[in-house]
Amino acid sequence: MAVVEKVIDAPPEQVFEVLADGWTYSDWVVGTAHVRDVDDDWPRVGSRLHHRAGPWPLSLQDASTVLECRAPHRLVLRAGLWPAGEAIVAFVLEPLDDGRTRVTIGEDFAAGPLRWVRTKLNDLVLHLRNKETLARLSDIATRQKPDR
C-alpha cells in the first residue's frame, strides 16, 4: 500500500469540505481528467462520483464509490478505472495544533490487472502521484475561507 502524508495549514473541517465537494476532484486528484457527474448525496456511503481518468484519447470512464465517511476525519473510496482495475483510497485527517491538519492518503489496488502488476516502479509512481495529489488538495483547502 502506498501511504503519503502532508500537513495542511487548515483545520480538518476545511480540508474535508474539499473532499466533500466531488466536483473539485479533477482539480486535485492527479490523473482525473474530468468529473462527469456527482451523486447529490456525495460523500455519503454508497454515493458515486463519475469521472474520466487518463489522457485523451486513451481516457477511461468509470466511477468512485464511497465505502466509509466519518466527516471530518476519514473518507474511504473504491476508485474504479476499469478495465485496468480499481483501488481502495483512504483519506485520514488528524487535527494538529494551530488549526493544522495531518492528511494521510493510503492507496492500494484492489482488483483487476493493476492488482497483479506490482513493481517498485509502480509503487514509486503511485507515491509521487499521491504526493502531488496532497499538494493540490492543500492548495485548494488553504484558499478556502473557514465558516465563522
The pLDDT tens digits along the chain (148 residues) read 778 999 999 999 999 999 999 999 999 999 888 999 999 999 999 999 999 887 777 778 889 999 999 999 999 999 877 556 788 999 999 999 999 999 999 988 776 656 556 656 566 677 888 999 999 999 999 996 655 4
Task: Report how far residue 119's alpha carbon sits from residue 140's, in angstroms, rounded to the nearest whole number.
Answer: 32
CB atoms within 10 A of CB 4: 19
Q: What is the pLDDT of residue 112?
A: 60
Q: Phi and psi of 12, rounded to 5°?
A: -55, -40
pLDDT at 145: 63
Look at the block and give the residue holding cell 451523486: 39
In 3D, which of 128, 146, 119, 148 has the Cα closest to residue 18?
A: 146
Cα dihedral 126, 130, 132, 135 in deg (nearest 10): -170
pLDDT of residue 60: 80
**Cβ-count burial of 16 within 10 angstroms (0-12 exposed, 13-18 middle, 19+ buried)?**
buried
pLDDT of residue 148: 47
Angle between helices 120-143 and 12-19 (to 10 degrees): 110
